[in-house]
C-alpha cells in the first residue's frame, strides 16, 4: 500500500503542478508571492542552463523538453499575474508588482522612458528573432536528421549483432537509446513551437504592461 501511494503521488504530481501554475492566471497574487515566484523562476532557468551546458550526451538530460514546457508555462502565468497587478495597482507606485519587477525596471530603464523603449525593442529582437527562432530551427532540423538516420542506426545495430560484435542485451540497449533519442528530438521540436508562442504572447503582454503602466 505504501508503494502504491508513492506511485499515485508521482503520477499526480505533474497534473497538480500544472493546475497550480494555471490557477496563477486566474487568481490574484500578492506582490510578495510574485517576488518569490519570479526568484524561483530565475533560479530554475539558471539551473537548467548550467545542467544543459555540462551535459555530454543527449539522453543524460532527457527531461529537458518537459522542464522547458513547465518553465515556459510558469513564465507565461507570471506574466499574466504581474500584468493584472500592474493594471490594477500600478497607480500606487513602482513597487506594486513586487520588488523583483521594480528592481529589473530600474536596472534596465534607469528612470528614462526613451532608454526603456530602446532597450525593450532590442530585447524583443534578441528574444524573438534570434533566440526563439534560432532554437526552433535547430530543434526542427535536429529532429528531422535523427528521424531520417534512425533506420540506418537500427541496421547497424542488427549488423553488429549478426556479426557477433555485441550481445543481445547490448543490442536491446542500443535500440532503446535510438528510440529515446528520436523521442527526445521530437519532443524538443514540439517544445520549441510552444516556446515561440510564449515569446509572441510575452511580447503582447509586455506592450500592455508598458501602456497600462503609463
Which among 80, 69, 83 has a CA at the least distance from the CA of 194? Answer: 69
Residues 183, 10: Cα–Cα separation, whole Å: 22
Gap between the Cα atoms of 178 and 184, Å rounded: 10
Taking 3-state DSSP, the helix, strand and coil percentages for the chain, each rounded to the nearest 5, stand at 85, 0, 15
Higher pLDDT, 28 or 112: 28
Query: DSSP letters of 46-79?
Result: HHHHHHHHT--SGGGGTTHHHHHHHHHHHHHHHH
Q: pLDDT (tens digit, 9 = 90+) per residue, 68-88?
A: 888 888 888 888 888 888 777
In this structure, of 30-34, 38-42, 109-113, 201-205, the range with the lowest mean pLDDT score is 109-113
Give the predicted TM-score (pTM) of the model: 0.77
Helices marked H in 54-166: 64-89, 99-109, 113-124, 133-162
Whether the CB-CB separation of 79 and 24 falls below 8 Å is answered with no
Collapsed DSSP state (helix, strand, coil) of residue 111: coil
Among the residue ranges 50-59, 134-143, 149-158, 169-178, the one predicted with the least confidence is: 134-143
Amino acid at each position: 500500500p505504501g508503494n502504491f501511494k508513492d506511485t499515485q503521488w508521482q503520477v499526480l504530481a505533474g497534473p497538480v503542478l500544472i493546475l497550480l501554475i494555471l490557477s496563477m492566471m486566474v487568481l490574484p497574487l500578492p506582490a510578495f508571492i510574485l517576488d518569490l515566484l519570479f526568484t524561483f523562476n530565475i533560479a530554475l532557468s539558471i539551473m537548467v542552463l548550467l545542467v544543459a551546458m555540462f551535459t555530454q550526451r543527449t539522453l543524460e538530460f532527457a527531461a529537458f523538453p518537459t522542464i522547458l514546457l513547465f518553465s515556459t508555462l510558469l513564465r507565461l502565468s507570471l506574466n499574466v499575474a504581474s500584468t493584472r497587478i500592474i493594471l490594477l495597482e500600478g497607480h500606487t507606485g513602482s513597487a506594486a508588482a513586487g520588488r523583483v519587477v521594480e528592481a529589473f525596471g530600474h536596472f534596465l530603464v534607469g528612470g528614462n522612458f526613451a532608454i526603456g523603449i530602446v532597450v525593450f525593442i532590442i530585447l524583443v529582437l534578441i528574444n524573438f528573432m534570434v533566440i526563439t527562432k534560432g532554437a526552433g530551427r535547430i530543434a526542427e532540423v535536429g529532429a528531422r536528421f535523427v528521424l531520417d538516420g534512425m533506420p540506418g542506426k537500427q541496421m547497424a545495430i542488427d549488423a553488429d549483432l549478426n556479426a557477433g560484435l555485441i550481445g543481445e542485451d547490448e543490442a536491446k540497449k542500443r535500440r532503446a537509446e535510438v528510440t529515446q533519442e528520436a523521442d527526445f528530438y521530437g519532443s524538443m521540436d514540439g517544445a520549441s513551437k510552444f516556446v515561440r508562442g510564449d515569446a509572441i504572447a510575452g511580447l503582447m503582454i509586455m506592450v500592455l504592461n508598458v501602456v497600462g503602466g503609463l
